[in-house]
Amino acid sequence: MTYEQYLDAIGENEAIFVGNSETVANKIIKIMEELGLTRFYLHLPIASMPYEDVMNAIRIYGEEVVSKVKEYFQKKSEKERFTLKWKSSK
Give the start-to-end residue ranges of the domains of the chain: 3-88
Task: Using a cut of 0.85, tell me whether the model's pTM lies above it.
Answer: no
**Which band of pLDDT confidence, cut at 50, 70 and 90, is reported for residue 10?**
confident
Nearest one of 75, 74, 60 to 22, comparing CA atoms: 60
Burial 1-15, CB ≥16 within 10 A → b, else e = eeeeeeeeeeeeeee
Sign of CA dihedral 32, 12, 41, 74: negative
Residue 47 confidence (pLDDT): 83
Instruction: Say whether pLDDT at 71 is over 60.
Output: yes
19 CB-near residues (< 8 Å, 6+ apart): 10, 27
